[in-house]
Amino acid sequence: VSLDRRRGITLNEDGVREKFGILPASIADYLALVGDAADGIPGVPRWGAKSAAAVLARYGHIEDIPERSEVWDVSVRGAKTMATNLAEHREPAALYKELTTLRVDVPISEDLADLDWRGVPRPEYEALCEELGFEALLGLPHRWAGD
């Protein structure tokens, strides 16, 4: 599933395919190629959303995309430049993919209720703002712990 924060909905596999044009298993590859400004991922130059979706819909993962565009069996505008840029940026693209991959192998001893966000601890937050000189941020939190 994928959470669409702007629309406040959760997308299932069909919803992800409709929104992005790829399967959920390719989302980390997609973000690595096109970038993700919210997480500071620059992406690979000349890889836009539509072309990345078309290529990933065919090949699934960055590692499976052939280096030479001449052997791609999907037609995208600018394929030669895209292939060249991917070849030149394979190492950073692998890092971007790792950074955009949701880890599911981390052991968690807490149950779901323990992980529920209960708000900002007011005394600690206010003390930190005062210490750092960020008094203008004192009213920023919308939920205080214990309220």
* pLDDT average, residue stretch 62-91: 97
**pLDDT exceeds 80 at position 147:** no
* pLDDT average, residue stretch 83-87: 98
Q: How far apart are CA 51 and CA 64, in angstroms?
A: 16
Which is higher by pLDDT, 48 or 8? Answer: 48
**pLDDT exceeds 80 at position 56:** yes
**Helix or strand or coil: residue 104?**
coil
Q: How far apart are CA 17 and CA 80, in angstroms?
A: 26
pTM, to two decimals: 0.75
pLDDT of residue 3: 82
**pLDDT exceeds 90 at position 1:** no
Q: Find, among 135, 117, 113, 118, the residue nearest to 126 by Cα.
A: 135
The predicted-structure confidence for 90-143, as pLDDT tens digits, reads as follows: 999 999 999 999 888 999 899 989 989 999 999 999 999 999 999 999 999 999
Three-state secondary structure readout of 58-89 = HHCCHHHCCCCHHHCCCCCCCHHHHHHHHHHC
pLDDT of residue 5: 82
pLDDT of residue 103: 87
pLDDT of residue 6: 85
Q: How far apart are CA 3 and CA 59, in angstroms?
A: 24
Q: What DSSP letter does each residue of 5-47 carry, written as one string?
A: TTTTEEE-HHHHHHHHSS-GGGHHHHHHHH-BGGGTB---TT-
